[in-house]
């Protein structure tokens, strides 16, 4: 266990501000600039789609970023450095968008550089933030803390989108650069203030412990770190990947996030094409889904809080159940695609949102727990591996969701069947993700039995109690 003190709610709120700052930069690059490229500049929608997908591809460096944080022992420099790079990338993305109106090829080249910086910045800051939370947030607070931080990020999305939208009207290239530059400076300033002395003097906490056992433990950890530096990143990553539970959780993250993101770009077109909803009504349907996601997050936060922890089910059971109910909701959307307007679409979408929010926050809480379970010296590498898996899934999800619906329509020749095919694919992904979540829980059970072997209580009873 780390000798450092655990974070209180004020510390968690400060980390939430950093997460909100990350969201503020990303939402402008993925929504506002997207619209300007397609509408004002009349460029193909594939261009912003490629740039957003490319920034997810860049996030495959997350394991390397986490490894660097492991070696440095401190997460603050990586978070602050990542925020600087992210803010710079956000401003350059706006500059590139303006430049596209004059020199298209030069603007695209600058945009590729900008989204590369955005990917690096998100990787460095986001991975290190989760590592710090995994090390300094107590077990009883992990689910509520994850909910609080992610809700602050969503608030950052909403506030930034609304504010930038109002300030940007009427649109002009100069106005876009002014707003983007001001936003980049603001998020860096807020992040600096939020991270100031947050992590504390790590070395002094270690030196304050004078007992011999702890001194020997610190010496062993220091020796292990020196050995890992000589081994290098590849051997460390191979060591983490060889851990069965880390590998199982990586597969779970990929499958669940692939299913989660695949429906994001086709839900509104589906509702408009088969249920005859207007653009405003489909936007409201998307808002209903996001509101339900927040409800699911709050439910898991309540279930994992100290006072009622365990009474409403374990975090593990919420992770498994959330994926299972998400699969059920996706099956409902398959039936909606087959039967059309008689199907209760809004309750179906609300159920999907609640289940999505439940499993996502349960997964983040589990991620924070597992990151340090095999020793804090590899926490960053583990977190980076899972972050890379999530980024790849998100990048593929948007592409596969739209491409699969188009392909199915081309082959099958009927729109409802095409959407049913895609929703059925996502249903299968959620079922497989639920199975992987059970797989992750079985390793916890095995470790618990190894620590506390009992001839009286059978593994089957423990497993029933856990789920």
What does the alpha-carbon distance between residue 253 and residue 319 come to, in Å, rounded to a whole number?
11
Question: Cα separations (Å) of 310 from 296, 300, 304, 316, 334?
Answer: 17, 11, 7, 10, 34
* Domain match, 157 and 236 both: no
Domain, as residue range, for 287: 230-467
* Range in 163-172, 224-233, 318-327 with the lowest mean pLDDT: 224-233
Where a domain ends, among 148, 175, 197?
A: 197
What does the alpha-carbon distance between residue 3 and residue 208 come to, in Å, rounded to a whole number?
9
pLDDT category of residue 153 using cuts at 50, 70 and 90: confident
In a domain, 221, yes or no: no
Question: What pLDDT does residue 327 have?
Answer: 96
pLDDT digits (tens, 9 = 90+) for 72-101: 668 889 999 999 999 999 999 999 999 998
pLDDT exceeds 60 at position 131: yes
Q: Average pLDDT of the chain?
A: 82
pLDDT digits (tens, 9 = 90+) for 19-68: 999 989 988 887 788 888 877 888 887 788 788 888 988 999 898 888 87
Query: Cβ–Cβ contacts within 10 Å for residue 210, how many?
Result: 7
In a domain, 202, yes or no: no
Question: What pLDDT does residue 465 have?
Answer: 37
* Domain match, 367 and 424 both: yes
pLDDT exceeds 50 at position 209: no
* Domain match, 177 and 263 both: no
* Domain match, 395 and 275 both: yes
Enumerate the H helices of 168-275 as residue ranges.
Answer: 173-195, 202-207, 212-231, 233-241, 244-262, 267-275
Quote the pTM value.
Answer: 0.78
In a domain, 216, yes or no: no
What does the alpha-carbon distance between residue 245 and residue 259 come to, in Å, rounded to a whole number?
21
pLDDT exceeds 60 at position 382: yes
* Domain match, 129 and 261 both: no
Q: How many domains does the chain have?
A: 2
CATH number at residue 357: 1.20.1250.20
CB contact at 8 A, 34 and 52: yes
In a domain, 218, yes or no: no
* Range in 54-58, 61-65, 217-221, 283-287 with the lowest mean pLDDT: 217-221
């Amino acid at each position: 266990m780390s000798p450092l003190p655990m974070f209180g709610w004020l510390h968690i709120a400060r980390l939430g501000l950093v997460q909100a700052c990350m969201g503020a930069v990303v939402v402008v690059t993925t929504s506002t600039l997207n619209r300007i490229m397609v509408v004002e500049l009349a460029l193909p929608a594939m261009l912003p789609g490629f740039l957003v997908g490319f920034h997810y591809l860049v996030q495959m460096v997350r394991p390397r970023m986490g490894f660097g944080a492991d070696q440095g022992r401190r997460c603050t420099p990586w978070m602050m450095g990542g925020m600087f790079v992210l803010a710079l990338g956000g401003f350059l993305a706006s500059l590139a968008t303006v430049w596209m109106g004059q020199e298209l090829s030069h603007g695209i080249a600058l945009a590729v550089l900008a989204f590369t910086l955005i990917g690096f910045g998100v990787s460095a800051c986001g991975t290190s933030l989760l590592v710090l939370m995994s090390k300094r947030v107590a077990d009883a607070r992990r689910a509520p803390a994850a909910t609080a931080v992610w809700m602050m990020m969503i608030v950052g999305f909403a506030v930034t989108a609304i504010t930038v939208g109002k300030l940007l009207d009427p649109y002009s290239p100069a106005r876009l650069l002014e707003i983007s530059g001001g936003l980049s400076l603001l998020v860096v300033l807020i992040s600096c203030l939020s991270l100031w002395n947050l992590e504390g003097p790590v070395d002094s906490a270690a030196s304050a412990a004078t007992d011999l056992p702890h001194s020997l433990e610190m010496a062993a950890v220091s020796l292990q770190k020196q050995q890992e530096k000589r081994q290098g990143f590849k051997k460390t990553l191979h060591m983490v990947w060889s851990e069965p539970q880390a590998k199982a959780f990586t597969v779970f993250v990929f499958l669940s996030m692939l299913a989660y993101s695949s429906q994001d770009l086709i839900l509104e077109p589906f509702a408009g094409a088969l249920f005859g909803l207007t653009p405003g009504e489909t936007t409201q349907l998307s808002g209903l889904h996001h509101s339900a996601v927040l409800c699911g997050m709050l439910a898991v936060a309540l279930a994992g809080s100290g006072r009622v922890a365990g009474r409403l089910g374990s975090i593990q059971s919420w992770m498994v159940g959330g994926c299972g109910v998400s699969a059920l909701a996706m099956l409902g959307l398959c039936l909606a695609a087959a039967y059309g307007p008689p199907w209760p679409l809004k309750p179906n979408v609300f159920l999907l949102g609640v289940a999505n929010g439940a499993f996502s926050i349960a997964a983040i809480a589990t991620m924070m727990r597992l990151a340090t379970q095999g020793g804090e010296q590899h926490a960053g590498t583990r977190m980076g591996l899972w972050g890379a898996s999530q980024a790849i899934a998100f990048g593929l999800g948007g592409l596969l969701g739209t491409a699969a619906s188009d392909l199915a329509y081309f082959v099958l020749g009927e729109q409802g069947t095409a959407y049913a095919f895609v929703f059925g694919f996502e249903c299968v992904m959620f079922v497989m993700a639920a199975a992987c979540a059970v797989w992750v829980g079985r390793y916890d059970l095995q470790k618990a039995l190894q620590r506390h072997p009992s001839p009286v209580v059978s593994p089957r009873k423990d497993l029933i109690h856990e789920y």
